[in-house]
Structure 1
Amino acid sequence: MPEGDAVWRTARRLHTALAGSALAGADLRVPALATRDLAGRRTLEVVPRGKHLLHRLEGGLTLHSHLRMDGSWRLLTVTTGAGVTPDHPATRRHTVRAVLWTDSALAVGDSLGMLDLVRTADEARVVGHLGPDLLDLAFDRDEALSNLVRQPGRPVAEALLDQRNLAGIGTIYASEPLFEHRISPWTPVGALSRHELGSVVDTARLWMVRSCRLGPTVPMTALARGPADGWLPGHYRVFGRRGRDCPRCGATITEQPIGEAPRERVISFCPTCQPTP
């Protein structure tokens, strides 16, 4: 599932291409929206909220989408003598759920996990359950930490992944900061000091902001000693490296599911650097 930084970059691309322009047309391929006509409405802005996208339109409407596991928004430039039209091979896939176009851009929402049209004033209906957004300039760190400690017996990785506590963290930004601070994903939240928990959140936020600015890379830290360790800048140290050597201690990195369905996720960790309490 795309994480907060990837959704932020998607929102920025859509905003750059569509903001200020009137929609020439919109094809919303979900039954509840199939007859809605958005043509002529100007895009005001496209903004992220955690892992959600809010496409705000003139007239007080918001097109809300969530990418879930496999979704994406693709931007295509189709120049013809008559301008942009939705007649493009990318729009013909049976998994496409939304097609938006202006005089200069074509946006295709494929395999979207959610697609809703709500009044902008009622956006809380679709994102009001989310905790503080790590990529919000006004991120409320104290509220996020207070949310995390409400269930002191909960494994810390599971709590970090719960978007009701704080929004934007997925398995990458749960796995990597916990490895950075040598904390087992199964450590109960209540066993960590507020300073320890805050350090994990601060690291996740720092790396997500850096990813938004510089691209999806994990920054080099003092723990990385060079190519001999099998880890280079831009490569994750535990995420997606099951069965490979830990770049810090040489033990074998493993992955295990955490949480209960439907929120179960797979977390990556080093069992030696991050011993289960």
Structure 2
Amino acid sequence: MPEGPSLLLLKEEAAAFAGKTIIQADGLAKIDMARLTGQRIVALRTWGKHFLIQLPHLTVRIHLLMFGSYRINERKESNPSLHLQFDDGELNFYTSSVRIIEGVLDEQYDWTADVLSDLWNPAAARKKLRANPDMLVCDALLDQTIFSGVGNIIKNEVLFRIRLHPLSTVGALSDRKLRELVEQAREYSFDFLRWKRTFELKKHWLAHTRQTCPRCHIRFSKGKLGKTNRRSFYCERCQKRYGDQSELDFSNDSGDRQPVRERSRKGKTL
């Protein structure tokens, strides 16, 4: 599933169509295509994983889902979900969800929840997290009302970067750890965008789809975790699990901490 940074790149690539008039609209999507024909594109915007084509009286919302794609000024052999024709080009979206949004767009979206937006509000994100103390952090990062634009790659990489186990509960995190989680959700998203622009994103993956922890040199654990049931890749040694005392404990919360296993009454390491 394309994540927020990929949608920003799509907006940049399609920027030339802003201000242009749609001369033909068709495709497999079950929307009234006639409402789009003859309309001028007021703006191209994104909110998290949504690509928004703003017209004078409505907005076309496109979500690329798990396997969606797009083509600009070219076509695939398969039929598009949405084809927009202009005098000097075309936009095509495949295997995508296409919907019409009525009314004022700013009343439909909370721009402060978008981790890549200039309006991003980290304090609001922390407040939303504290209101859900039982939520697992692997689910929290994928909650688009809190971290709009964060997807599974960013989730895995952020949790590895801040040494946080995906099955930790939000309410068990210290204020410092909660702040770190929120900060890195945004910082890694911009790293993702920068690496994606230079076609070297996968080279920088430290956890996602990897087999071995680059810090501990042991095999990663992996599984579909949380209510979101999305793939997680994590290290049981250096990613601390908060909220379960049976897991590894750490002597401190610094980036250089070393794991200290629980000890039995006889002083033997368990």
Assess if the C-alpha contact under 8 Å between 2:69 and 2:95 holds in 1.
yes
Q: Identify the residue that residue 232 of structure 2 maps to in structure 1.
A: 267
For residues 187 and 259 of structure 1, the distance between their equivalents in structure 2, rounded to whole angstroms, comes to: 10
* 1:5 partner SS: helix
Q: How many residues align?
A: 242
Assess if the C-alpha contact under 8 Å between 2:60 and 2:100 holds in 1.
yes
Residue 111 in 1 paired to residue 111 in 2?
no
Residue 235 in 1 paired to residue 220 in 2?
no
Q: Cα distance, 1:111 vs. partner?
A: 0.2
Assess if the C-alpha contact under 8 Å between 1:28 and 1:36 holds in 2.
no
Q: Identify the residue that residue 223 of structure 2 maps to in structure 1.
A: 256
Q: Percent identity?
A: 29
Structure possessing the higher radius of gyration over alpha carbons: 2
Assess if the C-alpha contact under 8 Å between 2:27 and 2:83 holds in 1.
yes
Assess if the C-alpha contact under 8 Å between 2:112 and 2:120 holds in 1.
no
Q: Identify the residue that residue 9 of structure 2 maps to in structure 1.
A: 9
Amino acid at match of 2:226: G
For residues 240 and 216 of structure 1, the distance between their equivalents in structure 2, rounded to whole angstroms, comes to: 21
Distance 1:251 1:216, change over 3 A: farther
Q: Cα distance, 1:204 vs. partner?
A: 2.2
Map 1:70-219 → 2, pairs under 5 A: 70-76=67-73, 90=76, 92-94=77-79, 96-112=80-96, 114-121=97-104, 124=107, 127=109, 132-215=113-196
For residues 216 and 174 of structure 1, the distance between their equivalents in structure 2, rounded to whole angstroms, comes to: 20
Q: Deviations over 1:148-168 (max 9, x none)?
A: 121212211111111122211
Q: Cα distance, 1:214 vs. partner?
A: 4.9
Amino acid at match of 1:253: F
Amino acid at match of 2:60: L
For residues 211 and 217 of structure 1, the distance between their equivalents in structure 2, rounded to whole angstroms, comes to: 10
For residues 104 and 225 of structure 2, the distance between their equivalents in structure 1, rounded to whole angstroms, comes to: 36
Q: Deviations over 1:172-224 (max 9, x none)?
A: 111111111111011111111122112122122112123334536899xxxxx
For residues 213 and 116 of structure 1, the distance between their equivalents in structure 2, rounded to whole angstroms, comes to: 30
Q: Identify the residue that residue 227 of structure 1 maps to in structure 2.
A: none
Q: Identify the residue that residue 17 of structure 2 maps to in structure 1.
A: 18
Q: Identify the residue that residue 56 of structure 1 maps to in structure 2.
A: 54
Distance 1:99 1:65, change over 3 A: same
Assess if the C-alpha contact under 8 Å between 1:12 and 1:47 holds in 2.
no
For residues 174 and 270 of structure 1, the distance between their equivalents in structure 2, rounded to whole angstroms, comes to: 14
Assess if the C-alpha contact under 8 Å between 1:148 and 1:160 holds in 2.
no
Residue 38 in 1 paired to residue 23 in 2?
no
Q: Cα distance, 1:31 vs. partner?
A: 2.9
Q: Identify the residue that residue 264 of structure 2 maps to in structure 1.
A: none
* 1:163 partner SS: coil
For residues 202 and 73 of structure 2, the distance between their equivalents in structure 1, rounded to whole angstroms, comes to: 31
Distance 1:41 1:171, change over 3 A: same
For residues 107 and 69 of structure 2, the distance between their equivalents in structure 1, rounded to whole angstroms, comes to: 23
For residues 199 and 165 of structure 2, the distance between their equivalents in structure 1, rounded to whole angstroms, comes to: 20
Q: Cα distance, 1:70 vs. partner?
A: 0.7
Identify unmatched segments of 5+ residues in structure 2: 245-270
